[in-house]
Amino acid sequence: MKDIREAATKVKLGPEKKRLQSKREREMTAYHEAGHAVGGHMLPGADPIHTVSIVSRELSLGHTESRPSRDRYQYTMSELKDRLAVMMGGRAAEKIIYNELSGGAASDISGATNLARKMVVDLGMSKLGPLALGSSWEAGGAMERGFMRQVEVSDRMQSKVDDEIKLFIDEAYSRAETVLKKNKTMMDKLVKKLLKVETIETGEFLKIVGLKKVTYDKKVSIS
């Protein structure tokens, strides 16, 4: 199973890479990943944490992986907001601990922005209501019979879409920061362990942070 997990991780994130990192860089990576992990553990709508690692790979300096405890076919707005907050957890942890920001959150920011855009544009979860606000295609008029034309939202509406996306991201960052400040001791313990062993999986993770409170009637047990 260890070999299978490593193979799956290699496909997703690339092979392990030995990078010469300073003590501060390595610690910052640990806090970044701990920010994701503690946020994912404390926010009830987020999927349970499976792996936290500061092993450098081709595409990252570390990674935090979560997995649902049951089959999931759709997510509610509350669960998606929790997911956004988890994505912002790494950046929030850096700010809390170092009062500094790094480039390590680039992929988190990109992923969170794309998810927030989907919530606004495709899922109708913003204050703009249940509107399809992305580009669409419609049949041409009488003079364009047999042709399809692309329909774009107006500049005014696009500005509103951008504002709603930013609101989702700002709220997610604020929630992540609040959760991590309240659970800084938990984050410190996790970082201490990560710096020692580099990779922590479910059983050891739950021994450090305790059982996760979830939104459905099923507890995550320590294996």
Q: Which are the catalytic amino acids?
A: 33
User: Among all chains, which residue has been given the structure tokens 């501060």?
Assistant: 24
Angle among Cα 49, 51, 52 to the nearest 5 degrees reads: 100
Bridge partners, residue 151, by sequence = 136
User: Among all chains, which residue has been given the structure tokens 């969170």?
Assistant: 112
User: Among all chains, which residue has been given the structure tokens 């790494």?
Assistant: 90
Are 84 and 109 spatial neighbours (Cβ–Cβ below 8 Å)? no
